[in-house]
Amino acid sequence: MDEVVVQAQGLTKIFRSGDSDLTIFSELDLQVRRGEQLALVGESGAGKSTLLYLLAGLDRPTRGTIHFGARDLSAMANADLAGFRNREIGFVWQSHNLLPEFTARENVMMPLLIRGAPEREAADAAQARLEEVGIAARASHKAGELSGGEQQRAALARALSGNPSLLLADEPTGNLDHRTGEMIFELLTRLQRTRGLTLILVTHNDSFARRCDRILRLENGTLVPG
């Protein structure tokens, strides 16, 4: 776990708000090592989700660089960045963001179909991921027919469908009751360990954060040990 796989240097994000600029954070530095399980905590509005979006290449910093290995995400063209995300990064958000008109299996297939995988290959891989998260029997059910916990399991299966190396989770248990949230967190961390993934978890749950390898707190635009 010595190799640095995610490195942000001088990261600054400024939003235009009316006639003034709103600085979310400035000159922020971060290193995440391969296989690490990092908890990112802080008050609501501190910028945790913004930081996660930047690390994912879903948004671009105002200033600074983000490297994934030797690749500079902030210098990549949009099309290249989209392909990179599809291959290397899995996402799990507070809201499952499943497409309601599709089945669990079809939702999990989506990243692979976007990548250009044949439909049969994508379906087989999706079924395997649903088996991995424990809802293979619900594969043909549409999103609205799944419980909250099952929906989040399907979202986790979708995040893993392309065999990413980095998993980003933004309050993945925030919409779940305590018992279901505990089950999802345990599943998330078990899969992270068995697959050797690097995990960055944004959470307000102190118990979950303490079970990670490291905690960083984002406060006043600065990352400090939690």
Give tens-digit pLDDT for 65-120. 999 988 999 889 999 999 999 899 999 988 888 999 999 999 999 999 999 999 99
Give tens-digit pLDDT for 7-33. 999 999 999 888 899 899 999 999 999
DSSP string, 124-192: HHHHHHHHHTT-GGGTTSBGGGS-HHHHHHHHHHHHHTT--SEEEEESTTTTS-HHHHHHHHHHHHHHH
Query: Which pTM does this prediction carry?
Result: 0.91
* CATH, range 4-225: 3.40.50.300
Question: Where exactly are the structural domains of the chain?
Answer: 4-225
What pLDDT sits at residue 94? 83
Helix (H) or strand (E) holding 215: strand 214-219
